Amino acid sequence: PNNKLEVQISSDCEETYETVLTIDNTNHIPSPNLATRVILLDDYDGKAINIRFAATWASGDYFLDLDNIN
């Protein structure tokens, strides 16, 4: 497995989670600049949801920086 970050959403009180974004070696561009990712939540309008960030470290140097989550 590779290093990756998954953003997951649950709308059933954390019984199950759906992965809505995966950042891994196929779509990550190393840079000292911050990147903005947008996740549309239209499908969850009117629902109570839980969001989790699941990071997987496989090998090598791996730095994870989450900032300004709105």
CA dihedral (56, 32, 67, 8) positive or negative: negative
Residue 38, both tokens: 């947008």
CA atoms of 52 and 70, how far apart (whole Å)? 13
Supply the pLDDT for residue 1: 56
pLDDT at 61 over 80: no
Rounded mean pLDDT, 17-43:
90
Supply the pLDDT for residue 30: 82
Q: Is the pTM of this model over 0.95?
A: no
Q: Report which listed range, 51-55, 58-62, 63-67, is most confident.
A: 51-55
Cβ atoms of 49 and 34 within 8 Å: the answer is: no
Rounded to a whole number, what is the distance in angstroms from the first to the last CA of the chain? 29
